[in-house]
């Protein structure tokens, strides 16, 4: 069994294949965290909760059973003696916010319950077990149920909380995090992913200071700037070595991940909805469900943590027919044409692309309303037949006749002031009465908490999908949220708007995919501004960044891979000079970097030379040859992107083949390049594409040695196949 309860120790033991998570109920009814790490046998772990007795300024609990500020509390509360960052704060009807929950009961069972209205991991009865612990605040009547799901095949635990008002008076939630993790004293680093537009998810690892470190967003989405992922790693942990606790939040809105290191070196990490601008009013009998947090512990460094997240999210978060299906190799017209196109230009791009083996044409922004630039038309989801004579139906018929699929760009959540929709429904925007509305990229944000807004968007998108054969949608979101208020919510619920917006987004996505279950959805937000696990539940691939420069993509894709699988990383070959950086790179380099993802093209193929088109045919062949290995193999980050070089490899789960890619960023004459495989079977014999035959141990410990001078931005690949 994955979950065991010991009545003797009043403790719960949660076990994955290689890890254990232990918590107990102390004499006062407090839930105490005892252990999270390498797998252990069932034994009395309550001694791990002992802390320094020098706590004169840290009050005991009212029943003298606990010093809350010193104890490793399993789900910390605010206002009753625990002064560290807290997971829960509830304000009762008399105005007081002191919160204190105690154990009531528990149950555990096979499988995993769904999270109504929100994305979450899923598992069958054979794949997981779930523990529910019911706690109660006897003063306010708030009941808090803590959920723990333990996966049988992965070293991962999913957690969330449900707060229920069992009293006769209303309650107001002010802080309600999904999970709290207390980690014992050590020499810890914090790892996270930061960035900005066109520079998303840069990996950073720094020693964790004393005090509070916050990784968060209050922009209305998970954002380009910080990702809802944090890892606590032993100091200088590497890809292969060190203890690592990774925590990922399955949420697309304002999030908060706070880590506090106290004076004794003990850590607390909380993950959940950002309490800034958040509140939730609970009438008697009502409940609130937090998003889900997922933790992964690895004793073998960052690489093993990443591979666990990759497998879990690919197999137990992504859904639908496309989650593990081979994705169509696509070409997107955006950087090739921008707004300047008509049906003949689009058809000619598709025609030339089809002759090269490209399988889908995606028509980007500019096909609807008065959309000849980014200052008008958003919200008017009607085909612009001045550009597309005969409508989408005729165009899609012509493209399908080429043997290609067809995809279409939408930005449903936004609206231009210069649009028929805004002129008819100005109240549909998020706005504060009497306050001017902020423009971002010449657009306002629709109030996705409103059913009438979602009904309009669904009707328009559903109609377009039914009128033309469309297999793919690119769903964009191109600004952050300001003036977050809704005309339909009363004053005491206005703090709910950020979360209600996200719930509305999820409802519309679910409704669309239910009506069109075979649709392939790609998420986008000015590139990677909403690249989070929650979006993978609806869109199994996400446009990773608007920066298509292959050298810039090394850093972006390296950081993204810390938590997200290759199948989620949309990556395209674009034209040179690159439109974001002005840099010119070899076509082969652009293709090799883009192969580390879903792969496609972002250019006007009709302008390519015959030589370039022959190169594209070779890239297409490589895409098919290596598809399963790249998308379902295990990723090993071999050399992080630096001033000189970068390398990574994919190894088949059965260890029968591997593919290594090396990028030489800067030429250094008379410099020997050396890179070593990881993850091979040491005793297997492998041959590369040049006929070199060596044991896996040699490929891993000696590696590949290149003595010839490599030019700036030159790449090479090494493919290994087991010799039987």
Over the stretch 476-528, which tens digit does the pLDDT of each residue have?
A: 999 999 999 999 999 999 999 999 999 999 999 999 999 999 999 999 999 99
Q: Read off the pLDDT of residues 138-182 as tens digits, 9 standing for 90 and up.
A: 999 999 999 999 999 999 999 999 999 999 999 999 999 999 999
Q: Is 549 a catalytic residue?
A: no
Task: Please enumerate in sequence order all residues whose Cβ is within 8 A of that of 308, keeping only pairs 6 or more positions apart, or say none.
Answer: 154, 155, 156, 246, 296, 298
Phi, psi of 521 (to 5 degrees): -105, 130
Task: Give residue 615's pLDDT band: very low, low, confident or very high (50, 70, 90).
Answer: very high
Classify residue 323: in a domain, yes or no: no
Exactly one of 476, 532, 549, 604 is catalytic; name it.
476
| Same domain assignment for residues 305 and 341 | no
Comparing 58 with 78, the larger pLDDT belongs to 78
Q: Read off the pLDDT of residues 226-250 as tens digits, 9 standing for 90 and up.
A: 999 999 999 999 999 999 999 999 9
H-run or E-run covering 416? none
Q: Read off the pLDDT of residues 526-582 as tens digits, 9 standing for 90 and up.
A: 999 999 999 999 999 999 999 999 999 999 999 999 999 999 999 999 999 999 999
| Same domain assignment for residues 385 and 528 | yes
Distances (CA, A) of 496 to 254, 451, 546: 12, 15, 31
CATH of the domain at 691: 2.60.40.1180
Tell me the pTM. 0.97
| Same domain assignment for residues 560 and 674 | no
What average pLDDT does the segment 86-105 reach?
96
For residue 695, what pLDDT is reported? 98
Q: Read off the pLDDT of residues 664-695 as tens digits, 9 standing for 90 and up.
A: 999 988 778 899 999 999 999 999 999 999 99
What average pLDDT does the segment 107-113 reach?
98
Exactly one of 189, 546, 547, 592 is catalytic; name it.
546
Give percent of the chain above pLDDT 90.
94
**Rounded Cα distance, 679 and 306, in Å:** 14
Classify residue 509: in a domain, yes or no: no
| Same domain assignment for residues 605 and 662 | no
C-alpha closest to that of 144 among 154, 153, 132, 135: 135
State the pairing for strand pair 211-216/255-261: antiparallel
CATH of the domain at 157: 2.70.98.60
Q: Read off the pLDDT of residues 361-419 as tens digits, 9 standing for 90 and up.
A: 999 999 999 999 999 999 999 999 999 999 999 999 999 999 999 999 999 999 999 99
| Same domain assignment for residues 116 and 187 | yes
Place of tokens 């000079």: 577
What average pLDDT does the segment 309-336 reach?
97
Picking from 583, 611, 630, the residue at the C-terminal end of a domain is 630
Classify residue 490: in a domain, yes or no: no
Structural domain of residue 605, as residue ranges? 330-415+450-480+517-630
CATH of the domain at 354: 3.20.20.70
| Same domain assignment for residues 188 and 166 | yes
Instruction: Count other Cβ atoms within 10 Å, centred on residue 630.
Output: 21
Q: Read off the pLDDT of residues 45-63 as tens digits, 9 standing for 90 and up.
A: 999 998 765 666 888 888 8
Average pLDDT, the chain: 96
Classify residue 441: in a domain, yes or no: no
For residue 219, what pLDDT is reported? 98
For residue 707, what pLDDT is reported? 87
For residue 679, what pLDDT is reported? 98
Classify residue 426: in a domain, yes or no: no
Phi, psi of 432 (to 5 degrees): -105, 125
Classify residue 173: in a domain, yes or no: yes
62 CB-side CA count, 13 A? 8
What average pLDDT does the segment 205-214 reach?
97
User: E strands of 262-416, at which residues?
Assistant: 267-273, 280-282, 287-289, 292-298, 330-332, 360-363, 405-410, 414-415
| Same domain assignment for residues 365 and 220 | no
For residue 52, what pLDDT is reported? 66
Comparing 707 with 23, the larger pLDDT belongs to 23
Instruction: Count other Cβ atoms within 10 Å, centred on residue 607.
Output: 11
Sign of CA dihedral 295, 300, 301, 303: negative
| Same domain assignment for residues 36 and 156 | yes
| Same domain assignment for residues 646 and 613 | no
| Same domain assignment for residues 77 and 168 | yes
Place of tokens 């076990």: 15
CA angle 461, 467, 470 (to 5 degrees): 70
Picking from 607, 630, 653, the residue at the C-terminal end of a domain is 630
For residue 345, what pLDDT is reported? 98
Picking from 630, 654, 678, the residue at the C-terminal end of a domain is 630
Classify residue 560: in a domain, yes or no: yes
Q: Is residue 202 scored above 80 in pLDDT?
A: yes
| Same domain assignment for residues 302 and 395 | no
Classify residue 229: in a domain, yes or no: yes
Q: Is 266 a catalytic residue?
A: no
Q: Read off the pLDDT of residues 261-296 as tens digits, 9 standing for 90 and up.
A: 998 899 999 999 999 999 999 999 999 999 999 999
Number of domains in the chain: 3
Give percent of the chain above pLDDT 70.
99
**Rounded Cα distance, 79 and 280, in Å:** 18
| Same domain assignment for residues 646 and 623 | no
For residue 64, what pLDDT is reported? 81
For residue 54, what pLDDT is reported? 60
**Rounded Cα distance, 41 and 120, in Å:** 30
């Amino acid at each position: 069994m994955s979950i065991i309860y010991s009545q003797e120790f009043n403790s719960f033991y949660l076990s994955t294949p290689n890890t254990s998570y232990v918590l107990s109920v102390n004499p006062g009814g407090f839930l105490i965290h005892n252990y999270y790490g390498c797998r252990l046998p069932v034994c009395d772990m309550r001694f791990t909760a002992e802390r320094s007795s020098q706590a004169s300024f840290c009050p005991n609990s009212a029943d003298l059973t606990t010093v809350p500020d010193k104890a490793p509390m399993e789900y910390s509360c605010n206002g009753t003696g625990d002064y560290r960052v807290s997971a829960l704060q509830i304000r009762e009807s008399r105005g007081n916010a002191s919160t204190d929950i105690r154990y009531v009961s528990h149950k555990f069972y096979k499988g995993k319950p769904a999270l109504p209205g929100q994305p979450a991991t899923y598992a069958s009865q054979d794949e997981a077990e779930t523990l529910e612990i019911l706690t109660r605040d006897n003063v306010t009547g708030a009941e808090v149920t803590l959920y723990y799901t333990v996966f049988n095949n992965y070293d991962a635990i999913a957690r969330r909380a449900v707060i229920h008002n069992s009293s006769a008076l209303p309650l107001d939630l002010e802080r309600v995090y999904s999970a709290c993790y207390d980690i014992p004293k050590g020499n810890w680093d914090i790892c996270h992913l930061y960035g900005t537009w066109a520079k998303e998810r840069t990996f950073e690892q720094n020693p964790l200071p004393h005090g509070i470190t916050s990784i968060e967003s209050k922009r209305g989405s998970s954002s380009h700037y910080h990702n809802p992922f944090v890892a606590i790693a032993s100091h200088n942990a590497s890809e292969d070595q060190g203890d690592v606790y990774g925590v990922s939040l399955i949420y697309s809105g304002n999030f908060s991940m706070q880590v506090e290191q106290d004076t004794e070196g003990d850590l607390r990490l909380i993950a959940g909805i950002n309490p800034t601008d958040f509140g939730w009013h609970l009438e008697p009998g009502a409940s609130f469900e937090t998003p889900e947090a997922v933790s992964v512990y690895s004793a073998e460094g960052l690489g093993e943590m990443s591979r666990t997240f990759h497998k879990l999210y690919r197999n137990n978060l992504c859904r639908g027919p496309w989650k593990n299906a081979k994705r169509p190799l696509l070409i997107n017209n955006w950087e090739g044409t921008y707004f300047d196109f008509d049906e003949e230009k689009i058809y000619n791009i598709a025609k030339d692309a089809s002759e090269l083996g490209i399988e889908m044409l995606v028509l980007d922004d500019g096909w609807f309303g008065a959309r000849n630039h980014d200052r008008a038309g958003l919200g008017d989801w009607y085909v612009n037949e001045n550009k597309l004579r005969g409508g989408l139906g005729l165009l899609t018929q012509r493209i399908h006749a080429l043997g290609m699929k067809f995809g279409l760009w939408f930005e449903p959540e936004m609206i231009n002031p210069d649009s028929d929709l805004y002129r008819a429904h100005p109240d549909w925007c998020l706005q504060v009465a009497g306050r001017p509305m902020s423009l971002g990229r010449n657009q306002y944000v629709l109030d996705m908490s409103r059913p009438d807004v979602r009904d309009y968007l669904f009707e328009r998108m559903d109609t377009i999908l039914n009128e033309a054969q469309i297999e793919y949608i690119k769903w964009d979101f191109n600004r952050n949220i300001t003036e977050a208020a809704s005309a339909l919510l009363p004053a005491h619920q206005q703090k709910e708007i950020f979360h209600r917006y996200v719930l509305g987004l999820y409802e519309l996505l679910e409704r669309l995919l239910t009506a069109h279950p075979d649709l392939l959805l790609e998420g986008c937000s000015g590139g990677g501004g909403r690249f989070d696990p929650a979006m993978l539940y609806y869109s199994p691939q996400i446009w990773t960044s608007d920066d298509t420069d292959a050298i810039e993509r090394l850093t972006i894709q390296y950081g993204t891979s810390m938590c997200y699988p290759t199948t989620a990383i949309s990556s395209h070959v674009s034209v040179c000079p690159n439109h974001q950086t002005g840099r010119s790179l070899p076509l082969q380099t652009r293709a090799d970097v883009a192969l580390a993802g879903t792969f496609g093209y972002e250019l006007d193929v009709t302008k390519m030379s015959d030589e370039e088109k022959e190169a594209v045919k070779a890239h297409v062949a490589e895409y098919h040859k290596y598809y399963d290995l790249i998308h379902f193999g295990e990723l090993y980050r071999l050399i992080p992107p630096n001033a000189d070089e970068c390398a990574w490899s994919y190894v088949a789960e059965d260890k029968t083949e591997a593919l290594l890619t090396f990028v030489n960023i800067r030429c250094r004459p008379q410099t020997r390049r050396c890179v070593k495989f990881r993850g091979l079977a040491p005793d297997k014999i492998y041959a590369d594409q040049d006929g070199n035959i060596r044991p896996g141990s040699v490929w891993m410990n000696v590696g590949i040695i290149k003595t010839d001078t490599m030019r700036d931005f030159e790449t090479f690949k090494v493919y290994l196949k087991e010799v039987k």
